Structures are given as structure tokens and as C-alpha cells.
Amino acid sequence: MKKFFLKFLLTFSLLLPFAFSSNAEPVDFDNIKLSLPSEKVVASDDFVSKHNDIILKIGTLEFPAVFLYKDENAPYQGYLIKFNDFLGVESFVQNINKGCDILYDELLKECKAEVTKCQKDCDERVGLILKQKDALELKLNIQIKETDRQKTHKYIWTGVGIVAGAGLGILTYELAK
């Protein structure tokens, strides 16, 4: 399922730029000004009387935006974007981010479930190993006690055998004489 989402997002992100076309025209090279003042005051019949340059933010990207008055030359060659178009791009990027957030949340939830299951299985295996270890330690202690008891019996029977053998040897020697 996650491969499907990843393929869908990749295909969507690769094909989407070709779906949009721009109707803007390039700026005339002869009318380019090299420097712009940071603030301008215009005649009272215009709506805008003062401006400040701004920074446009789309997701994590930041673009410095210079305010241009009507009939003013652009400082560089390129396309100027209308504010409504910018809002469309911004909402598109935010929607993509929301889609990625949903995918991220689902992947995170799935990974947490897998980690929880793995931890539970690991805990069960460790518990089983600890039970086996305790049983083996008990068997080892019983085997050590049994071995000690058998050693004691061997020493006793060896001592009895030596005494009986010596006594039988002496008795046989006495009878043979």
C-alpha cells in the first residue's frame, strides 16, 4: 500500500508541472533598470503610495519580492507572478505537504505497530529463554550434587575394597603358609 502511495505521489509531482502553462511575456531587455530604490512615493491618484519589499514563502522556500509600480521597468529578465497565482501555488504546495503529512503519519503508525509487535515477540522469546535458563541451572545444581555424592560413594567403596582386599590377602597368605 505504501509503495502505491509513493508511486502515486512521485507520478503526480513529475506530471503536474507540465499541466500548468504560463501566459506571461518576457520583459524587454532595453528597459531594464539595474537598481531600484527601497521605497517610493507616488502621486495621490494611485492606490499605492508607499511600499516595502517583502519575502514570499512557499513551504520552506523563501523568495525576495520587489514591489514594482505601474510603468516601472523590471530589475531583471523573468516572469512576474500575480498575487492570486502565488496564492494558488502556495495552496498547491500546502496541499502536497498535507498529503505528505498523511502519508508520513500512516507510515509512522505502521512502523510503530511493527516495532511494538517486534518488541512483544522479543519479550516472549527472552521470557522463554530465561525459563529455560532457570530449568538448566536447577538441573546443573542437581547434577553437581549427584556427582559429589557419587564421588563420596566411590571413595568409601574404594577404601572398603582396599581394606577388604588387604584383609583377604593377609588371610590367604596365612592359610597358604
Q: 84 with 155, same domain?
A: no
Q: 47 with 100, same domain?
A: yes
CB of 67 closer than 8 Å to CB of 76: no
Is 47 contained in some domain?
Answer: yes
SS3 assignment, position 88:
helix
- pLDDT confidence of residue 3: 75
Q: What would the pLDDT profile of 78-97 be if each residue is shown by its tens digit? A: 667 777 777 777 788 777 77
Q: 90 with 38, same domain?
A: yes
CB of 54 closer than 8 Å to CB of 65: yes
Q: 28 with 95, same domain?
A: yes
Least confident of 33-47, 65-79, 146-160: 33-47
Give the residue among 78, 72, 76 at the shortest CA–CA distance from 26.
78
Of 56, 88, 105, the last residue of a domain is 105
Is 132 contained in some domain?
Answer: no
Q: What would the pLDDT profile of 105-114 be if each residue is shown by its tens digit? A: 999 999 999 9
Is 160 contained in some domain?
Answer: yes
CA atoms within 13 A on the CB side of 138: 6
Q: 101 with 141, same domain?
A: no
- What is the share, in percent, of the chain residues with pLDDT greater than 70? 70
Give the residue among 88, 107, 86 at the shortest CA–CA distance from 2.
107
In whole angstroms, give the CA distance from residue 130 to residue 30: 84
Least confident of 59-68, 91-100, 114-123: 59-68
CB of 65 closer than 8 Å to CB of 55: yes
Q: What is the pTM of this model?
A: 0.37
Of 83, 105, 127, the last residue of a domain is 105
| Adjacent-strand bridge partners of 54 | 65
Q: 45 with 87, same domain?
A: yes
- pLDDT value at 60 more than 80: no
Q: 91 with 147, same domain?
A: no
Give the residue among 31, 54, 51 at the shortest CA–CA distance from 41.
51
What is the rounded (10 degree) CA torsion for 70, 75, 78, 82? Answer: -40
Question: In the structure, what pLDDT confidence band is assigned to residue 177 with cuts at 50, 70 and 90?
Answer: confident
Is 156 contained in some domain?
Answer: yes
Domain range for 43: 2-105
Q: 101 with 145, same domain?
A: no
Is 13 contained in some domain?
Answer: yes
- The angle, 0 to 180 degrees and rounded to 10, between the axes of the packed helices 2-19 and 83-176 is 160
Question: In the structure, what pLDDT confidence band is assigned to residue 35 with cuts at 50, 70 and 90?
Answer: very low
**Number of folded domains in the chain?**
2
- pLDDT value at 36 more than 50: no
Q: What would the pLDDT profile of 10-20 be if each residue is shown by its tens digit? A: 676 666 555 55
In whole angstroms, give the CA distance from residue 36 to residue 129: 77
- Write out the H or E segment, with its range, that includes residue 64: strand 61-65
